[in-house]
Amino acid sequence: MNRLLGFRARADGSARRAPFAFAALGVAFFAFAPAARAYPEFQAQIAKGAGRPVNCALCHANPDGPDGASYGQIGRLNPEEMERLNRARKAIEPGAEVNSPILNEFGNELVRSLGMRRLLELKLNPAALPDAIDPKSDMDRDGIPDAEELRDATHPLKKEDGRPWRLFTHNVRKNLWTIFLAAVATAAGLYGLAQLLQGFARAARAAHGEEDSSDRE
Amino acid sequence: MSLVSVVKRAVEYVAERFPVEKLNYHAMVEKKEVPVHRLSWGYYLGGAALFFLCVQIVTGLMLLFYYQPTVSDAHASVEFISEHVHGGALIRNMHAWGSSMMIACVIAHLLTAFAMKAFEKPREITWVTGVGLLFLTFGFGFTGYLLPWHQIAVNATKIGLQSIEQVGQYLPGQMAQWPRAIRETIQGEATVGQATLSRFYAIHVIVLPFALAGLLGIHLLAVQLHGMSRGVDEPARRREKFFPIFIIKDFSVWGVAFFVLFVLALCLPFESFYSYPLFEAYDPNGSTPDGIKPEWYFYFVYYPLELLPFGVILVASGLAAVLLLLAPWIFRGTSRKTLRILAFAGAAYFLGMTLFGERIYHFFKGGAP
Amino acid sequence: MIDSFLLVGLPYLAITVCVVGTFWRWKTQAFTWSSLSSQFLEARQLRWGSMPWHLGILLVLLGHLVALALPRVWGSLMTYPTLLVITETVGLGAGAMALVGIVVLAFRRLTSGRVQAVTTTMDLVVLALLFFQSLLGVLTALLHRWGAAWSTATVVPYFWSILLLRPDPSLVADLPPIVKAHLVGAWLVLLAVPFSRLVHVLALPLSYLWRAPQIVIWSGSRRARMQAKDLAVAESRREFLKGAAGVAVAGTLLSAGVLDKLVRFFQGPKISGEMETVLLAKRLRHLQMTAEEQALQLERQKNDRILIGRLSELSATKGKYFIDFHMAPALAFLGANGLPLLISAKCTHLGCTVGGDVDAQGQILCPCHISYFKITTGEPNPGAPAKTPLPHLEWAVVDAAGKTLAQRTAGGAIEGSLAGVPPEACQVYVCRPSPEGAS
């Protein structure tokens, strides 16, 4: 699906929305840690490449990115989560155990497999991100590898999200046996029903004929 | 004219529309025949719509077991159905695809019935109840769309309801406030929120089904009493038995419809046609994602609404509704050939707007398609 | 000793006798190759006996035959619990149907005088054999369940060991007596084939299902007139039979595919503890969001002013979102005069949230249908879908001591000034719109 009605793919959609709750409740969170930046370069590139809008929830916990005080945003982390966030930030090299509270599983997997250094390099050339990740990895097991999902701007963690035709062919292949059985069941049921109705009609006619003949007698 | 003669004429009128003396086995099963001609395929569309209605009822009932109509839980419960309940994704997807297919069948049924002049005397009641059923079906689509409480649902509903308020600008004086009051009555509060969800839920699950059952009962009774309309001007070359020949074919159509629906629901998630941010839980304080629009079956009013002044659309849709409801009397003398051309034009418009509405919009308004 | 006779000797005896005897009968008495119909002697009971018996036994035999002939395919299929349950259920149902049928047939043969007249001793022997065999089969299914699965490792290899002339009775030696009796019964039935009406089995009269019906009728004037009607009835019966078969196949397949899913749909999911945690967290999050929303609402009910933030946090180019008194989003900017500029962010067209970034022309954009609004006036650009301007909101700037330094009143007039107080020390509030709402 294309973007509709000239909707702009908002590249910087991430940090745009300040937390209303924050302002209104007047709670002084220690928000807006300067090092916390979403990576709008990737988002812009992915949306542009596929012509399908994406938001920060591709890799982040919150669709509006990590800045703010809503769930999955830095303003709401407790000390333990803050600890995990800092550990994730220090994962310069690939292979570190990463479980950042502001990222979703895919985002964490990116940091784990690529490392922060590589990610920062890729920021300069965001189009190369899909090529950098494992071409076989398919986290939602919808038949479309994560790299392809990034190129298509579909979500690597949502199995109902993908290019429709690719999802369809994959699912047909996966469910071939079920579909075959459903076809057989439908055909057999229709055949049986048709025979039953025909039999009923014939029997009814015969019964009717009997009445007629008895009338005549 | 005396009161007695008025009552007598009314009774005659109804008796002619509902010839209940035909309500017997002999007339409805043994003698009934269906004309065979080049538009015969149109006779199956109503049955197909009925089949999809049955699918909607069954799958809808199953979804009711898990769905929770509150703003804090609705989205989560829908997600729970899709991800955790066994067969839940299939049931939900069948409900989604089934609704689209039902609406497609209903619209096609309307157009073919129009082209065949199936509203001719004594079938006026059948036609009017059919138009009523069409509106009810759209009502189902509109109210059901909100229930998952995701971004596209809530925002599209907001836009849809907002357009009611726009009527206000054309009304004089105090009346200008009425549409706003109507909208807020439908919503139940100033914005689309819990009250709206509760109302739409009640309407979708209780009110509309009962209304539909009533209208459908009349519609089906009338159809069964009168049998199929002749459909074409020239006398039919051949007629086939309604029972069992036609009904077997009808069931075959149902079987094929079931199979297609099953495969689609199993293999192609309805959501995959839209970008995923539209299906995140609605967040009143978050940003609105790109690409909010109504379901495809509302494109034929949505895109014109975007392109033309609201007043034009208001007048046009009012005219269309009147035209539809009064078709049996307006087109009483029109030939079937003309009706076919009109129906074809209607179909072309609907298809054009549904398939190319977006491109047409950008052609006139600019912007990337 | 007796075991090895019954499980090895008897089978070979039965097979040999069956093959040789059948061949002999075919050569010498081909004309007796018949099930010896007695339909014209007694028809009503026959229908209620013969039909369930033949349908049931055919289904059961088919199951036995597939299991014996394709052990590997059958074995792998029976590893699916659903399929196993369905097979067992269908098998038990068919067996019970056959048992009922054979009882009716036996009753008929023992009570109807006309049928008695043509009944031979062999018929009675066969009847008894089949009755006990069916009874044993049903008992096996009832008492030693999941035979469709366990037989693949016992009876099937035993059967093949007999066929391949490497008899191995130990495979079935430990089976329960009922099952062994059923096995022995099978060989006995086989033994009886060439000497009885059972031989008609070998004619494989499957075409009964398809061929046009043959009606056995009396010749005679009155009855002959009914012939056409009888034909129609028989034809319709055959259609009913085919219909029932089709519906049964569809029903079986559908129940195989649907029933377990349906049951599990209503059972509800079995969720791991970990998943439960995730779901609960999500639910809590949604509830918290709802609670926050309601807290905002309550706050707006109770107070006449709501804090947005410090004046120094506002920017001229990037709006700060907050929720206004209508519970709609709004934006706070820094105006050219150094004072706040508060404007509703709910698009006047269809209510989308307007973006917070100010472009070079001093406009903000509603992304839904592309309306640009000038923030200084709120006016939409000419030709925009939105026709009415975004309203400005009343605000107040308060210093650290709580004294109102400046405010925008309902009329749009600005009263007071910062009077040299640094913006870091100034708090910006949005004020409840006055009832006149002139802004």
What are C196-228's pLDDT values in tens digits? 888 777 765 555 555 555 656 556 666 666 677
Q: Does A175 contact C at CB distance below 8 Å?
A: no
Nearest chain B residue to C327, by CA = B191
**pLDDT for res A25:** 31
A114 touches chain B (CB under 8 A): no
Hey, what long-range contacts does C221-226 have (CB within 8 A, 24 or more apart)? C225/A213
Single out the residue in C175, C203, C231 at which a domain terminates. C203
Residue type, A167: L
> Strand ranges (DSSP E) for chain B?
33-36, 238-241
Residue A183 lies in a domain: yes
pLDDT for C1: 64
Shared domain check, C309 and C190: no
* Per-residue pLDDT tens over the stretch B46-97: 999 999 999 999 999 999 999 999 998 999 999 999 999 988 999 999 999 9
Minimum distance, in Å, between the CA of residue C242 and any CA atom of chain A:
6
User: Minimal CA–CA distance to C316: which of C300, C299, C339?
Assistant: C339
For range C78-92, the mean pLDDT: 85
Q: Is residue A139 part of a domain?
A: yes
Q: Cα separation of B326 and B322, whole Å?
A: 6
In B, minimum Cα distance to A14 occurs at B287
pLDDT tens digit sequence for B247-274: 999 999 999 999 999 999 999 999 999 8
Same-domain status, A55 and A94: yes
Q: What is the pLDDT of residue C40?
A: 66
Given A5, A181, A206, which is nearest C233 (Cβ)? A206
Neighbours of chain A (3+ CB pairs under 8 A): B, C
Q: Count Cα atoms within 13 angstroms, Cβ side, for C235.
A: 15
- Residue C312: predicted pLDDT: 87
B149: left (phi over 0), alpha (psi -120 to 50) or beta: left
The predicted structure's pLDDT at residue A4? 35
Q: For residue B211, give the H/E element and its range.
A: helix B208-226
Strands B33-36 and B238-241 come out as antiparallel
Mutate to test the interface with A, among B81, B261, B290, B307 (most CBs of A within 10 A): B290
pLDDT tens readout for residues C245-289: 888 888 888 877 777 788 888 988 888 889 899 889 888 888 888
Q: Compute the mean pLDDT over every residue in chain A, rounded to the nearest whole number.
A: 76
Q: Which residue of A has its CA nearest to C235?
A: A199
How far apart (Å, rounded) are the C-alpha atoms in residues B97 and B90?
10
For chain C, first and last CA: distance in Å? Answer: 110
Are A96 and A201 part of one and the same domain? no
For residues A106 and A157, is the Cβ–Cβ distance under 8 A?
yes
C315 shares a domain with C188: no
Q: Specify if A170 maps to a domain.
A: no
Name residue, tokens 């098998």. Answer: C91
pLDDT at A16: 36
Residue B299 is predicted with a pLDDT of 92
Which helix (H) or strand (E) segment is C305 a member of?
strand C305-310
B-chain CB neighbours of C275 within 8 Å are 84
Compute how many other C-beta atoms are within 10 angstroms of the C-beta atom of residue B213.
10
Calpha distance B70→C367 (Å, rounded): 28
pLDDT of residue C131: 94
CA distance B27 to B366: 60
Chain B residues closer than 8 Å to C266 by CB: 65
User: Does residue C175 register a pLDDT over 80?
Assistant: yes
Per-residue model confidence (pLDDT) at position C33? 64
The verdict on residue B358 lying in a domain is no
Q: By residue range, what is the domain housing residue A211? A: 175-216
pLDDT at A17 over 50: no
For chain C, how many structural domains are there in total?
Answer: 2
Q: What gap in Å lies between CA B63 and CA B81, rounded to an integer?
A: 8
Instruction: Give the Cα separation of C175 and C136 in Å (integer).
Output: 14
For chain A, percent of residues with pLDDT exceeding 70: 77
Are A99 and A197 part of one and the same domain?
no
- Residue A186 Cα, gap to closest chain C Cα (Å): 7
Is the pLDDT at C143 greater than 50, yes or no?
yes
Contacts of C45 (CB under 8 A, 6+ apart): C104, C105, C107, C108, C112
Q: Which residue of C has its CA nearest to A205?
A: C232
Residues C414, C408: Cα–Cα separation, whole Å: 4
Per residue in B295-351, pLDDT tens?
999 999 988 888 888 889 889 999 999 999 999 999 998 889 999 999 999 999 999
- Do C196 and C308 share a domain, yes or no? no
Report if residue A7 sits inside a domain: no
- In this structure, the answer to whether residues A145 and A190 fall within a common structural domain is no
Q: In terms of C-beta distances under 8 Å and separation of at least 24 residues, what long-range contacts does B247-251 make, across chains too?
A: B247/A197, B248/A193, B248/A194, B248/A197, B248/A198, B249/B44, B250/B44, B250/B47, B251/A190, B251/A193, B251/A194, B251/A197
A34 and A79 in a single domain? The answer is yes
pLDDT at A27 (0 to 100): 31
Hey, is the C-beta of A25 within 8 angstroms of any chain C C-beta?
Answer: yes
- Name the residue range of residue C34's domain: 2-203
Look at residue C235 and tell me if it is in a domain.
Answer: no
Tokens of A177: 């046996």
Query: The CATH number of the domain where C197 resides is what?
Result: 1.20.950.20
For residue C217, being part of any structural domain is answered with no
Most confident of B113-122, B166-175, C2-11: B113-122
Residue C85, in any domain of the structure: yes
Listed residue (B162, B174, B38) closest to B112, CA to CA:
B38
Q: C197 and C304: one domain?
A: no
- Statement to judge: residues A140 and A210 lie in one domain: no
What is the domain-level CATH number for residue C422? 2.102.10.10
In a domain, B235, yes or no: yes
CA distance B50 to B224: 14
User: C351: closest CA among B292, A53, B274?
Assistant: B292
Answer yes or no: is C241 within a domain: no
Q: Is B369 on the interface with A (CB under 8 A)?
A: yes
- Average pLDDT for residues A136-156, to the nearest whole number? 90
Strand partners, C374: C363
Q: In terms of CA atoms, which chain A residue is nearest residue C252?
A: A185
Q: Give phi and psi for A198, each to the nearest 5.
A: -60, -45
Q: Are C171 and C154 in contact (CB under 8 A)?
A: yes
Stated as kind and residue range, the H or E segment containing C296 is: helix C273-302
Three-class SS of residue C295? helix
CA distance B254 to chain C (A): 15
**Both tokens assigned to C372:** 């640009």
CB contact under 8 A, B290 and C367: yes
| Local confidence band at A35 (pLDDT 50, 70, 90 cut-offs) | very low
- Tell me, what's the pLDDT at A188? 93
Q: Compare CB distances from C321 to A20, A195, A196 and report the shortest one's residue.
A: A20
Least confident of C49-58, C89-98, C106-115: C106-115
| Claim to verify: residue A107 and residue A193 sit in the same structural domain | no
Whole-angstrom CA distances from C385 to B204, B308, B358, B362 are: 31, 10, 17, 14
Confidence of residue A3 (pLDDT cuts 50, 70, 90): very low
Mean per-residue pLDDT over chain C, rounded:
83
Mean pLDDT of the region C299-325? 87
pLDDT of C308 strictly over 80: yes
pLDDT at C290 over 70: yes
CA B14 to chain centre: 27
| Selected residue with higher pLDDT from C252 and B141 | B141
Asked whether residue A11 is assigned to any structural domain, the reply reads no
Within 66-85 of A, beta carbons closer than 8 Å to C belong to 70-71
Question: A with C: how many residue pairs have Cβ under 8 Å apart?
Answer: 134
Local structure of C121: helix, strand or coil: helix
In a domain, B24, yes or no: no
Structural domain ending residue among the three candidates C143, C170, C203: C203
The answer to whether residue B45 is domain-embedded is: yes
Residue B223 belongs to what domain range?
A: 34-297
- Close Cβ partners of B193 (under 8 Å, ≥ 6 residues apart): B71, B187, B284
pLDDT attached to residue B367: 60
Say whether both A70 and A128 belong to one domain: yes
HEC-encoded secondary structure of C42-97:
CCHHHHHHHHHHHHHHHHHHHHHHHHHHCHHHHHHHCCCHHHHHHHHHHHHHHHHH
Domain count across chain A: 2
What's the distance, CA C164 to chain centroid?
43
**pLDDT digit string, tens, across residues B151-160:** 999 988 988 8
Residues A68 and A154 in one domain: yes
Check residue A1 and give its pLDDT: 35
- Do the Cβ atoms of C330 and C314 come closer than 8 Å? no
pLDDT at B189 over 60: yes
Number of domains in chain B: 1
Tell me how far the alpha carbon of residue A205 is from its chain's centroid: 59
Q: Per the domain annotation, does A6 fall within a domain?
A: no
Q: Is the pLDDT of residue A44 over 90?
A: no
Residue type, C192: A
Q: Do residue A129 and residue A207 come from a single domain?
A: no
Q: Which residue has the higher pLDDT, C55 or A69?
A: C55
CA–CA separation, C94 and C60 (whole Å):
6
Measured over the CA atoms of residue A124, residue A129, residue A133 and residue A139, the dihedral's sign is positive
Say which range, A182-186, B24-28, B115-119, has the weakest mean pLDDT: B24-28
C105 domain-assigned: yes
The answer to the question of residue C190 being in a domain is: yes
For residue B78, the domain's CATH number is: 1.20.810.10
B257/B265 Cα distance (integer angstroms): 12
Asked whether residue C271 is assigned to any structural domain, the reply reads: no
Percent of chain A with pLDDT over 90: 18
Cβ neighbours of B253 (radius 10 Å): 17
| Cis-peptide, bond into residue B122, ω within 30° of zero | yes
DSSP state of C391: P
Say whether residue C286 is in contact with chain B using an 8 A CB cutoff: yes
Q: Look at B287 and C353 and tell me if their CB atoms are within 8 Å.
A: yes
Q: Does residue C395 register a pLDDT over 70?
A: yes
